[in-house]
Amino acid sequence: MTETTALPSFAVWKFASCDGCQLTLLNCEDELLALAGKIHIAYFPEATRAVAEGPYDVSLVEGSVTTPEDAERIQRVRAVSRRLVTIGACATSGGIQALRNFAAVEEFRSLVYANPTYVATLERSTPISAHVTVDFELRGCPIDAGQLVEVIAAYLHGRRPRVPSYSVCVECKRRGTVCVDVAHGIPCLGPVTQAGCGAICPAHARGCYGCFGPQDSTNTGSLAHRLRLLGMSEQDMVRVFRTYNAAAEPFRRESTRLEEVSTP
Amino acid sequence: MTRTDLEYSPAAAGDEAMLPSPYRITQRREDTADTVTLAMEPLSGEQPSFVAGSFMMVEAFGVGEVPISISGDPTRPGPLEHTIRDVGAVTHALVDSEPGTVLGVRGPYGNGWNVADGVGGDLVVVAGGIGLAPLRPALLEAFSRRGDFDRVVLLYGARRSEDVLYADQLVAWRERFDIDVQITVDYRTPDWDGRVGLVTGLVPRAGFDPNRTLALVCGPEVMMRLVATSLIDRGVPASRVRLSMERNMHCGVGLCGHCQLRELFLCVDGPVLSYDRLDPLMTVPEL
Amino acid sequence: MIDSPVDNTTQRAAGSAVVVGRAGLQTLVDVLATRGYTVLGPTVRDGAIIHSKITSLDDLPQGWGDTQEAGRYRLRRRGDDALFGFASGAQSAKPTLYPTSVMLGRRSRNGNGAPTSVGTPPADAGESGDGASAGPYALLGVRSCDLHAIGIHDWVLGGRPDAGPDPDYERRRRDLFLVAVTCGDPSGTCFCASMGTGPRPDRGYDLALTELLDDQTHQFLLEPGSPLGANVLAQLPGRPAEDADLAAAHQVAQSAAGRMGRTLDTDGLREILYSAVNSLVWEDIAARCLACENCTMVCPTCFCTSIDDTTDLTGTTTERRRVWDSCFSSAFSGVHGRSIRTTVASRYRQWMTHKLASWIDQFGTSGCVGCGRCITWCPASIDLTAEAANLRAERNGANGAQASRALRRTT
């Protein structure tokens, strides 16, 4: 990459989401300043109204696909993006809104909206990777600012992002946090959850909520056995596996299994 | 990547061992569509000597560091040579580097082929694909003392004709009367009128005396096992069949643990090991 | 290197040993601080015994003991004033001597070959779990198991003939002052007696401390193990030890040795593991193993690391760090982005075989010192000693597969 070539262009796209991950990007003020002369942010509705036509070198995509329109729009985003990186639990696993995947959407719709006829929505909330090829998935609800900067740096310099896929336990041990499960009997999803947040919750004497989704060698059945020993009911376990990454496959499979076990 | 120089600041005296030294690429030769050989010299200080078969950790600044075998001539001073195939982000950056680019280099690490152990007998070199690169120093060493060996045989297999490494050199070697070079490709293409088939198929008919042979083998693990078995079937003792093993060489000095194969640290105990040692380890999946 | 088993059976001669009271022990802490050491000792934090900076005996876990079982750790009130009345803490000396993340250096590049200024790394680049600042450190209350683990690291990382050394480890280790402690109250997961590594420190310390506590007296026997230790000891107010003190200390260790919660039969274990590569026990463990890496992170001898580079956004500066890694991660054995050990069964086999078998080939000792942490801190309650017994039973059984299936039905 030399000064004479055009700056790499970035675009940020929003699908069904709370905007929290885009805000994480906005909060990287210092890092973004360093980048000001290095990249061209061509499309970023949360930060600027300026819109440049594609194609873009890197697209960051936030949010899941929940409507027929979005299912089409993501195809167009893919078509104008050299690299497509999804950011956050919604974009990588379907998000909290994927709870609809476990129930009948019709029932929600008639409960929530007075006149549901004009609400076009899909039966399921799906991750971007269910629709188009994704170059990299950055996990988290919300994403971690440091990891986001790493992903941007990686694509700027032509390398693979260094984002570990091991468990949250590694981060607890590295920061010297005493295991809340073993020493206090607090139910914790840390052993099955991917690192990235820096193990924030256990550092404050709470169990991990699984915001970063399943780690790469997940054994949810063994963890469910553990949670039962710590006194959780099957229904409670269904709930802890069904949060921000409810539709991530290992969590979905485990919560479905637990639901079948708990329902006579 | 632009032409750059590197500045180093080790955290404390002694930590330099884990930090690469800056080397400048002096020459870049395209061997195949995805493979280049880079010649490089240190920006300062002496060029390290190396044994045939050893490797170095080569870094594209800001992209990453990978183990690469040395493919140059161990018997003559000159720039270090590394033959690199584009298989990932780091090797892609290395393959793309133009002469003048400064790379980071650590090493050399690991043991070597110990070609001298074959003196007085036949030397059989069997290579698959890019596996010819770490064997080239062994061949050059053998040629430098050709009279010490009886027969020297090179059996080489590539996927297609366009994947054949060091084609010009192979032609030159073939024209020598004192080395038997046999090349085969897995898939025939219109431009290829040579042999087609796996390199393993060359072993049974090659001219060497199994009782006084030292065999050096490098290639994909499956190929190495088949070749080793084939050599042993012909009567070469397993202890005289040497393989160059590939694992996740990471620190290069036997400290990080990544390249372990049961009791072996392949970065210091290897990469070259004899098949009598490797056989029980290579037959276990995921060891 | 610690190369022969500990002899916990013979009573020692009094020699240069000294007996001090609580005031004398406080003087020890003060003397070490005066000599420039950062004194790290056991403290109670977050419901566990953690090594942290101490200045006073009041910082020590007076009256605290612990209960440890597979996957379970709880502090408990002892009902006495013991200062060292607990077993292995949450971490060994490893985070102090071999921090989780150590800066190896920082490098910059420029466009035209002119030198650029490079940042100076912080004086103490480590981020050890204890959060303590730069050394030199004095470690107070190192158990015999952990002392042996330091001995193993001295060999593995200290410049063995075939590798290394690790310069950062060497620096930290060279300046370390070690006050070992005789373990008086082992836990349910302890098995140092099986490994010949405890409970009484036998060498490798500057001072060895044994807490002598009964209804009348609360004293500490201090035995020098190095000239520096003897030099420090000479500054402490105390009386020369008598045979009765030595006998009492011997009794503390003897009693502890008989109360280990676990045993590990090491006889022929290396051969058992080497021949068990295809055992069904690995599949059985993998059904429970979370691949969370906790066992490797708390193990006092696990030394695997990764060389990690981070590059700033502008791509001009790179920092290289050595960070803890683990054979339980899929990336650990990765070659060209593909993992050699894709299954958790193969990763557990790698860890256990390395720890108990190939370690012996590599370094001349077992990699296990019997501290029990991998058992206590495993959220899946996997017990190394039980799995070793399963492998032994499988081998001894007429039909290994049958034995393994039977085992699985009972676990």
Residue B249 lies in a domain: no
Supply the mean pLDDT for chain A.
90
C336 shares contact with chain B (CB less than 8 Å): yes
- How far apart are the C-alpha atoms of A67 and A90, rounded to whole Å? 14
- How far apart are the C-alpha atoms of B194 and B216, rounded to whole Å? 23
Q: Beta strand C338-339 with C334-335: parallel, antiparallel or unpaired?
A: antiparallel
Q: Are B64 and B89 in contact (CB under 8 A)?
A: yes
Q: Residue C308 corresponds to which amino acid?
A: D
Contact check, Cβ <8 Å, A159/B2: no
What does the pLDDT read at residue B14?
60
What does the pLDDT read at residue A52?
58
Tokens representing A216 are 């790469």
What does the pLDDT read at residue A7?
83
Chain C positions in Cβ-Cβ contact with residue B18 (cut-off 8 Å): 104-105, 307, 320, 322
| B170 and B51 in a common domain | no
pLDDT in tens, B185-218: 999 999 999 999 999 999 999 999 999 999 999 9
Chain A positions in Cβ-Cβ contact with residue C130 (cut-off 8 Å): 176
Chain C positions in Cβ-Cβ contact with residue A165 (cut-off 8 Å): 329-331
Q: Which chains touch C (3 or more CB pairs under 8 A)?
A: A, B
Q: Enumerate residues 6+ apart whose C-beta is below 8 A from A30.
A: none
Other Cβ atoms closer than 10 A to C349? 25
Residue B254 lies in a domain: no
pLDDT in tens, A45-88: 766 555 557 789 999 999 999 999 999 999 999 999 999 999 99
| B138 and B23 in a common domain | no
Supply the mean pLDDT for chain B.
93
Residue B220 lies in a domain: yes
- How far apart are the C-alpha atoms of C350 and C352, rounded to whole Å? 6
Chain B positions in Cβ-Cβ contact with residue C309 (cut-off 8 Å): 62, 64-65
Residue B34 lies in a domain: yes
Ranges assigned E (strand) in C81-224: 101-110, 137-143, 177-181, 207-213, 218-224
Interface of C with B in 75-104 (CB under 8 A): 102-104
Question: C-alpha distances in angstroms, A137 versus A92, A98, A242, C292, C319?
Answer: 6, 17, 20, 21, 25
Give me the DSSP letters along C18-41.
EEE-HHHHHHHHHHHHHTT-EEEE
| B213 and B94 in a common domain | no
Helices and strands in chain B, H and E counts? 5, 16
| B199 and B181 in a common domain | yes
Question: C-alpha distances in angstroms, B53 versus B148, B192, B253?
Answer: 20, 30, 16
Q: Beta strand A81-87 with A136-138: parallel, antiparallel or unpaired?
A: parallel
What does the pLDDT read at residue C68?
98
| B105 and B151 in a common domain | no
Helix axes A234-241, A220-229, angle to 10 degrees: 130
Contact check, Cβ <8 Å, B62/A2: no
Q: Are A182 and A203 in contact (CB under 8 A)?
A: no
Q: Enumerate residues 6+ apart whose C-beta is below 8 A from A107.
A: none
Residue B256 lies in a domain: no
Instruction: Output the CA torsion C98→C102→C105→C109 (10° steps).
Output: 150
Other Cβ atoms closer than 10 A to A83? 16
pLDDT in tens, A143-172: 999 999 899 888 888 888 999 999 999 999
- How far apart are the C-alpha atoms of C183 and C53, rounded to whole Å? 21
**Beta carbon pairs, A and C, within 8 Å:** 140
What does the pLDDT read at residue B10?
65
Residue B81 lies in a domain: yes
| B214 and B146 in a common domain | yes
pLDDT in tens, A187-225: 999 999 999 999 999 999 999 999 999 999 999 999 999
- Return the SS3 of A48: coil
- How far apart are the C-alpha atoms of C280 and C381, rounded to whole Å? 19
| B190 and B160 in a common domain | yes
Single residue among B57, B75, B109 that ends a domain in this structure: B109
What does the pLDDT read at residue C311?
85
What does the pLDDT read at residue C118?
37
Please give the share of chain A, as a percent, with pLDDT higher than 90: 70
- How far apart are the C-alpha atoms of A175 and C323, rounded to whole Å? 12
Residue B64 lies in a domain: yes
Residue limits of CATH 3.40.50.700 in chain A: 9-156
| B175 and B227 in a common domain | yes
B87 shares contact with chain A (CB less than 8 Å): no
- How far apart are the C-alpha atoms of A56 and A65, rounded to whole Å? 21
Closest alpha carbon to B272 in B247, B236, B237, B253 = B247
Other Cβ atoms closer than 10 A to C201? 30
pLDDT, mean of residues B79-105: 95
State pTM to two decimals.
0.92
- Give buried/exposed letters for C159-184 (b at 16+ CB in 10 A, else e): ebeebbbbbbbbbbbeebbbbbbbbb
Contact check, Cβ <8 Å, B92/A158: yes
| B235 and B183 in a common domain | yes
For tokens 């699908």, the residue is A15
Q: Are A263 and A238 in contact (CB under 8 A)?
A: no
| B120 and B83 in a common domain | no
Q: Beta strand A81-87 with C137-143: parallel, antiparallel or unpaired?
A: unpaired
Contact check, Cβ <8 Å, C379/A156: no
For tokens 């025939």, the residue is B188
Q: Which CATH class is domain A9-156?
A: alpha beta
| B232 and B121 in a common domain | yes
Chain A positions in Cβ-Cβ contact with residue C286 (cut-off 8 Å): 219
Total number of domains constituting chain B = 2
Q: Which of B3, B284, B286 lies closest to C342 in CB terms? A: B286
Please give the share of chain B, as a percent, with pLDDT higher than 90: 89
Chain A positions in Cβ-Cβ contact with residue C326 (cut-off 8 Å): 166, 170
Q: Enumerate residues 6+ apart whose C-beta is below 8 A from C34.
A: none
Contact check, Cβ <8 Å, C90/A226: no
- How far apart are the C-alpha atoms of C108 and C317, rounded to whole Å? 4
Q: How many CA atoms lie within 13 A of A134 on its CB side?
A: 19
pLDDT in tens, B119-176: 999 999 999 999 999 999 999 999 999 999 999 999 999 999 999 999 999 999 999 8
Chain A CA closest to residue C293: A170
Per-residue confidence band for A105, with pLDDT thresholds at 50, 70 and 90? confident
**Ranges under pLDDT 50 in chain C:** 1-9, 111-133, 398, 409-411
Residues pairing with A210 in the sheet: none
Residues pairing with C207 in the sheet: C179, C224
Give me the DSSP letters along C208-242.
EEEEEE-SS-EEEEEEE-SHHHHHHHTTS--EE--
- Return the SS3 of C106: strand
ipTM entry: 0.92
| B133 and B50 in a common domain | no
Question: What CATH number is attached to the domain comprising B175?
Answer: 3.40.50.80
- How far apart are the C-alpha atoms of C347 and C332, rounded to whole Å? 10
**Beta carbon pairs, B and C, within 8 Å:** 149
Other Cβ atoms closer than 10 A to B175? 9
Question: C-alpha distances in angstroms, B239 versus A158, B150, B159, B215, B276?
Answer: 44, 19, 29, 10, 5
Domain that holds residue B198: 115-244
Residue B271 lies in a domain: no
* Distance between start and end Cα atoms, chain B: 38
Chain C CA closest to residue A205: C46
Question: C-alpha distances in angstroms, B61 versus B19, B20, B100, B220, B247?
Answer: 12, 10, 14, 28, 22
- Return the SS3 of C165: coil
